[in-house]
Amino acid sequence: MSSTTTDDQTGVRIVRSTDDRVVVGVAAGVAAQLGVSAAYVRAALVVLSFAGGFGLAAYAVAWIVSKNTGDSRSPARTTSVEQRIGLLAMFLALLLFLRGIGMWFGDTVVWPVFLVSLGLAVTWDQNPRDNRLLAWVLPGGDEELRPGFVRIGLGAGLMVAGVAMVVSSVDLLSELGTAMLAVLITGGGLILVFGPWIWRLIGQLRAERTDRIRADERGEVAAHLHDSVLQTLALIQRAKDPKKMVTLARAQERELRDWLYDRGSAANGQLLSAALQSLAARVEADYDVPVELVTVGDAGLSIPVEALLNAAGEAIANAARHSQADRVSVYLEANESQVDLWVADQGSGFDLTRIDADRHGISESIEARLDRHGGVATITTQPGEGTEVHLSLPIEATRKDNGS
Amino acid sequence: MRSVYLVDDHELFLTGVRTELSEHFSIAGSAADVDKAIDEIRRHSPDVVLVDVHMPGGGGLAVVSNVLETNPDVRFLALSVSDDPDDVIAMIRAGARGYVTKSISPADLVDAIRRIDHGDAVFSPRLAGFVLDAFAETIPVEHDPELDQLTNREREVLRQIARGYSYKQVAKRLSISIKTVETHVSSVLRKLQLSSRYELARWASDRRIV
């Protein structure tokens, strides 16, 4: 297909050849366009190059304006040894030509630069198949792709030679100690030879580390979801009682929220709202009744506040146990000087006057508990009207803000 | 029958709500993404839109603010699994007339939609708690004092709602009419939407969650 592509072109569009090329295929392309052998074109270019560099300029221009043959099945661009030598010879010819006409920075600059560049090129050939050094040093590198030590040696030798030329010509020996100079040269050579490799290795390691961290995080999330959400979902599938399902789902929801928003951490351990949260969760789990908790403000846990918390626990449990309401509402309002908490249900209610005096539930666990710390418990209920327990506790001014 | 439009990107939830509501309302349609929702709500102009807070492409916030620009008569009820006051307050300030969590019972949801349809505000206990918290501290009155503070009566109504009582029960407990309760709640909603208290935003971000 590639052989016909050039014929299809109209006008004088230069098409580079990918099959037959020494440098980038311009000569063969032009030859195909003109209908002559590529060898003539190449010869002409070389001759013209010695005539004021015209051949090289023409080649460069042709390269820029030309396009590839677009051969889609073109294999990886392999350059044969002959092509490379040809390229090198052309470049050398150019240098000599430039030197001849005086466009020259001087032997002490150009030749070392040339040698070092050549050394770098030999060592760090970017051709994927030839990038063996990289393949060799990286973990799991292909055995087959071990680098040619000849290549590295040649490259390093060229570079050291280039550097040595500079040093010997500049005559630094008198100013710097020989040992120091040797170190510098060796160091410079090492950087030149291995620098790019180390650079790439660092990038590689960094990428691997990022991947590992990401994998760890994923693993942690997966482990948590497995232990919590998946287990609960399995339990829900086996649960026969709809109430039980709701309880399981709500407990899981609570747990997941705590985890997602990092609640229940050490910082919240000292706060009334967090303690109420876990209290509500316990009652839900024990009695299969949802507990709706709304909090406004917060208070630190002190002995009186804990007494209120315990009284609240008793009131919530009572509501869940006896009221037959489908939910218990808990509302907390707290600030620096006062804590108020309401536990309300819309259930059966009861007759306060007919509660036996020896029943500890209300009088002892709720009223007396608060009374001991200067608080007040008010219970409002009637049969069929639901029940509301209001716990009110003033906080002494001496109370420490957040004891730690 | 009043028409309700549903916006939610959770297919299962959408199906469930559609079934629950179809006995009581005519379902004008549903969308799982913001663009389709905006387009269809503008065309159908339903009475009430049930909108999920969290959705790809700007979320419920984008739906509410875009539709209200062209169709100010459409009423929105925000619905979400989120407890984040930031999201809730943002939806209300964009123009939603109420907020309920997805765990709401079907009967309560129907009730809430009716209420929104009548032009009232719907405050769940949780939203009432958020608002009380947001307006809790007394601030120096630099802005509009009428908008920046709640009256004692409004505060008392919100407290009752936060304690789990329905509007009807609140009316009975405070010896006022239901209409008065609704007036108070609508007034709180207006303050929530129009108050220039920057404390609202700061409060919401300080306190990510209840």
A331 interfaces chain B, CB cutoff of 8 Å: yes
Closest chain B CA to residue A389: B163
Give CA–CA dist B79/B77, Å, rounded.
Answer: 6
Please give the average per-residue pLDDT across A20-40, as a whole number. 73
Q: Judge: B210–A293 Cβ closer than 8 Å, yes or no.
A: yes
Closest chain A CA to residue B81: A253
Return the higher-pLDDT residue of B43 and A98. Answer: B43
SS3 string, A135-189, reads HHHCCCCCHHHCCCHHHHHHHHHHHHHHHHHHHHHHCCCCCCCHHHHHHHHHHHH
Which residue in the set A273, A327, A329 is minimally distant from B163, CB to CB? A329
Residues of B in contact with A342 (CB under 8 A): 163
Sheet holding A387-394, edge to edge: A291-296, A328-334, A338-345, A387-394, A376-381
Q: Cβ distance A176 to A167 under 8 Å?
A: no
A329 interfaces chain B, CB cutoff of 8 Å: yes
Helix (H) or strand (E) holding A296: strand A291-296
Return the higher-pLDDT residue of A122 and A176. Answer: A122
Q: Cβ distance A49 to A97 under 8 Å?
A: yes
Range of lowest pLDDT (A114-118, A248-252, B13-17): A114-118
Other beta carbons within 10 angstroms of residue A399's beta carbon come to: 16
Write down the pTM of the prediction.
0.59
Place of tokens 């709706």: A292
Distances (CA, A) of A209 to A200, A203, A206, A212: 14, 10, 5, 5
A271 interfaces chain B, CB cutoff of 8 Å: no
Helix (H) or strand (E) holding B177: none
* Centroid of chain to Cα A250: 34
**Residue type for position B16:** G
Residues of A in contact with B208 (CB under 8 A): 261
Residue B208 in this model has a pLDDT that exceeds 50:
no
Helix (H) or strand (E) holding A35: none
Give CA–CA dist A90/A56, Å, rounded.
Answer: 9
Distances (CA, A) of A115 to A44, A157, A251: 28, 9, 74
The predicted-structure confidence for A339-395, as pLDDT tens digits, reads as follows: 999 999 988 888 777 666 555 567 777 888 888 888 898 888 888 888 899 999 998
Residues of B in contact with A344 (CB under 8 A): 163-165
Residue A124 in this model has a pLDDT that exceeds 70:
no
Please give the average per-residue pLDDT across B190-205, as a whole number. 65
A244 interfaces chain B, CB cutoff of 8 Å: no
- Residue A128 pLDDT: 43
Q: Judge: A296–B132 Cβ closer than 8 Å, yes or no.
A: yes
Q: Judge: B209–A292 Cβ closer than 8 Å, yes or no.
A: no
Other beta carbons within 10 angstroms of residue A353's beta carbon come to: 5
**Residue type for position A287:** Y
Residues 6+ apart with CB under 8 A from B129: A294, A295, A296, A331, B162, B210
Give CA–CA dist A352/A346, Å, rounded.
Answer: 16
**What residues pair up with A380 in beta bridges, in sequence order?**
A388
A295 interfaces chain B, CB cutoff of 8 Å: yes
